[in-house]
Chain A
Amino acid sequence: MKATPARSAASSFFVSPVDRRGRAIDPLVLAVAYEVGPRVVAYADRLLVDTALAMDLFEVSAGAVTQALKRRPKDAQPVLDLASYLSKTYLRKVGLIRKRRKRLEKAIENHARIESSARKSLEAEVAVLCDQVMATYDKVVRQMAYRHYEGFSWKEIGAEFGIDPHAAEARYSRALAHARLLLGIPPPKI
């Protein structure tokens, strides 16, 4: 006979008798876990979009319930609905993970916003600096600057203008340093 999809999902459902933290799961809790597991894990899987995480949390929840039952005083009232207890424990953990994820996403968004605004301010600063150099210096320095921006080495730049590479670099650096000083921009890191 062909099994229905729900039954086949339930039959492939496996809960480890020991959770990730090495806590043994009580056989009674394990039996309840097999009973409610397929339904709640499928629900959590839809929320978390991570089957492995959903399953891992379920086993950790079963381990936590086992520990809680062990810690209960002998004279305490018995747990009437273990299935509901396990499900609630599990869904609380799923909720915590979702909250953590949301916090993380928000933090990443904020970081990206700050980075983007810092980048924009940096771009504006460089634009002002370049315009200052272009507006202040002679033809040679300006052409050296263009060549430097385009990836020419100081050796190549020096050869084009018939001067020593170090002299070319020094000339451009002086111009840039002067422009930085005028605009109050800090010098580059070495």
Chain B
Amino acid sequence: MPGARSKRAKRRKKKPLSDEELRELSRKHFARDFPNPKRLGCPPKGELKRLAENPRNAKESVLGHISSCSPCYRGYSRFLQAKKKKTPI
């Protein structure tokens, strides 16, 4: 029946993404979707720490690398969390 079909189509209509979901999925995407087991092209940990602590002097190469290397993103995320704890606003 055409009526039943349209109801089913309505039910399957995609829900818009909330900001909270977007944040969670984004974090997961960067932390998981770029495995780099051989750590090719990874900057030293100090660079990640510097990036987290001093964002205004960010190096483009490090920032660019983070967006395509999950282990580095996780390291950067740890430095960000540490900084967040250290300087809560």
Bound together: yes
Cross-chain contact of A143 among B16, B25, B63, B81 (Cβ < 8 A): B63
Q: B89 near A156 (CB under 8 angstroms)?
A: yes
Cross-chain contact of A148 among B15, B23, B51, B55 (Cβ < 8 A): B23
Task: Give the CA-CA distance A153 to B89 in the complex, in Å.
Answer: 9
Q: Which residues of B contact A152 (CB under 8 A)?
A: 80, 84
Q: Does A189 contact B (CB under 8 A)?
A: yes
Q: B18 near A188 (CB under 8 angstroms)?
A: yes
Task: Give the CA-CA distance A123 to B32 in the complex, in Å.
Answer: 12
Q: Which residues of B contact A131 (CB under 8 A)?
A: 67
Residue of B nearest to A185 (CB): B17
Task: Give the CA-CA distance A134 to B30 in the complex, in Å.
Answer: 11
Given contacts A118-B14, A134-B67, A142-B63, contact A160 B30 (CB under 8 A): no
Q: Does A112 contact B (CB under 8 A)?
A: no
Q: Which residues of B contact A125 (CB under 8 A)?
A: 17
Q: A130 near B63 (CB under 8 angstroms)?
A: no
Task: Give the CA-CA distance A186 to B15 in the complex, in Å.
Answer: 9
Cross-chain contact of A151 among B33, B76, B84 (Cβ < 8 A): B84
- The contact sample of 9 A-B pairs, CB cut-off 8 A, is A122-B17, A129-B26, A139-B60, A150-B27, A155-B89, A156-B84, A186-B14, A188-B16, A189-B17
Q: B67 near A150 (CB under 8 angstroms)?
A: no
- How many A residues are at the interface, by size bracket? 35 or more
Q: Which residues of B contact A43 (CB under 8 A)?
A: none
Q: Determine how close the nearest CB of chain B comes to the CB of A49; give it in whole angstroms.
A: 33
Cross-chain contact of B16 among A130, A135, A160, A186 (Cβ < 8 A): A186
Q: Does B28 contact A (CB under 8 A)?
A: yes
Task: Give the CA-CA distance A162 to B55 in the complex, in Å.
Answer: 11
> Which residues of A (148-182) have their CB < 8 Å from a CB of B?
148-153, 155-156, 159-162
